[in-house]
Amino acid sequence: MMVSERFQRQALFYGVGPEGQRRLQASRVAVMGCGALGSVLASILVRAGVGFLRIVDRDFIERSNLQRQMLFDEEDIAKNLPKAVAAAEKLRAANPEAVVEARVADLNPATVEALCEGVDLVLDGLDNFEARYVLNDACVKRGLPWIYAAALGSHGLTMVVRPGKTPCLRCLFPDPPAPGTVETCDTAGVIGPGVGVVAGYAAAEALKLLVGAEEKLHRGLLWIDVWENGYQHTPLDGPLPGCPACQERRFEFLNPGQATRTADLCGRNAVQIVVPGQHALSLADLAARLGVVGRVVVNEHMLRCTLGEHELVVFPDGRAIVKGTTDPAVARGLYARYVGL
């Protein structure tokens, strides 16, 4: 096949070649989360020639994101864009040959299977353990490969999960850590180089899978620390006997009753509110109501309302982010008062 000038240098690489490039252009990938890790993953894959990319993110852009989230800039903040929408715009400009789909949505038990629909591979750009366990259950249930990735401080982890062939997330970590037992970006911070290295490794594994070079996968859990110059590869065999997910097929994290109604957003002094079953909220109507109680900025993607020391950010699916508090009770109270439960 003739290779587009856009991808000539990549197709010259022995591990890809013209046939690998064809496979990339025919592939369909979802990136769950478009923050630090997800923005790098999405950029690498679209620029590499992946034909279809779905970007899923629940959040909007803030100035503190720009230190490490490579797809965004001040103009995106001024335009009041959700991360998924802003990322999709940038990636379509970088590679007009790709189909880039933006989903402004929360990944949870009620939404995850639809968000994974119709793709060949899922990449983890998430920022919390709960969502990763939900994603693991959904991918294992479907037999869909996914790539775990996480970064904090100057270090990070990545692992390829191929259901039935490798351990899944619950093989390694049977249960999520108890609240308060692990560091977060609130306590440990995060630096861009650590994010970039972890995302680079994860993206390389994605390219190997998509071009059919499975024999080149690192086949284990990779840990790397760019500040302390640490590197560790832990080889892993097949699935762990007795794993509740991939062996016993008890997909406990897909139970909608387990969905968290509130979630503290890492490093944000903000709480997310999810109301199960609520759909198609009219932002225009809500803006008209809230205009008498606070300063409102609204577009088709989201509404922002400043309420004293708090800010209420509402999305068309009824989900909201309440800034200025980490107390779920305060956040729920503001939502109930100004949006309604």
Q: Do 275 and 234 share a structural domain?
A: no
254, 271, 300 — which closes off a domain?
Answer: 254
Q: Find the CATH number of the domain harbouring 59.
A: 3.40.50.720
In Å, how far from its chain's centre is CA 212? 24
220, 239, 254 — which closes off a domain?
Answer: 254
Q: What percent of the chain stands above pLDDT 90?
A: 71
Q: Do 140 and 51 share a structural domain?
A: yes
Q: Do 135 and 80 share a structural domain?
A: yes
Instruction: Record the pTM.
Output: 0.84
**140 residue type, one letter:** V
Q: What percent of the chain stands above pLDDT 70?
A: 93
Query: What pLDDT score does 279 carry?
Result: 64
Structural domain count, the chain: 2
Q: Do 307 and 195 share a structural domain?
A: no
Which range is least confidently modeled, 28-42, 48-62, 177-191?
A: 177-191
Q: Do 249 and 154 share a structural domain?
A: yes
More confident residue, 32 or 261: 32
Instruction: Give the DSSP H or E segment for 114.
Output: helix 112-115
Residues 118-128: tens digit of each pLDDT = 999 999 999 88
Q: Find the CATH number of the domain harbouring 303.
A: 3.30.310
In Å, how far from its chain's centre is CA 58? 9
Report the candidate in 90, 41, 82, 78 with the shortest Cα–Cα distance to residue 61: 82
Band of residue 187 on the pLDDT scale cut at 50, 70, 90: low
Q: Do 227 and 115 share a structural domain?
A: yes
Q: Do 21 and 147 share a structural domain?
A: yes
Q: Do 265 and 235 share a structural domain?
A: no
Query: What pLDDT score does 184 carry?
Result: 67
Give CA–CA dist 323/288, Å, rounded. 21
Query: What pLDDT score does 3 carry?
Result: 81
pLDDT higher than 60, residue 195:
yes
Contact 45, 137 (CB under 8 A): no
pLDDT higher than 90, residue 276:
no
219, 254, 289 — which closes off a domain?
Answer: 254
Q: Do 329 and 249 share a structural domain?
A: no
Region 271-290: mean pLDDT is: 82
Q: Do 153 and 28 share a structural domain?
A: yes
**What integer best gives the mean pLDDT of the chain?**
91
Query: What pLDDT score does 172 carry?
Result: 94
Q: Do 230 and 144 share a structural domain?
A: yes
Q: Do 26 and 46 share a structural domain?
A: yes
Residues 140-159: tens digit of each pLDDT = 999 999 999 999 999 999 99
Query: What pLDDT score does 298 carry?
Result: 94
- Helix (H), strand (E) counts: the chain: 12, 14
Phi and psi (nearest 5°) for 247? Answer: -105, -50
More confident residue, 263 or 84: 84
Which range is least confidently modeled, 61-65, 194-198, 237-241, 276-280?
A: 276-280
More confident residue, 199 or 277: 199
pLDDT higher than 90, residue 321:
yes
Region 156-180: mean pLDDT is: 89
**Structural domain boundaries enclosing 115:** 5-254
Beta strands in the chain (DSSP E): 28-32, 52-57, 99-104, 121-124, 146-152, 155-161, 220-225, 230-235, 262-265, 270-273, 295-298, 303-307, 310-314, 320-323
Give CA–CA dist 180/174, Å, rounded. 18
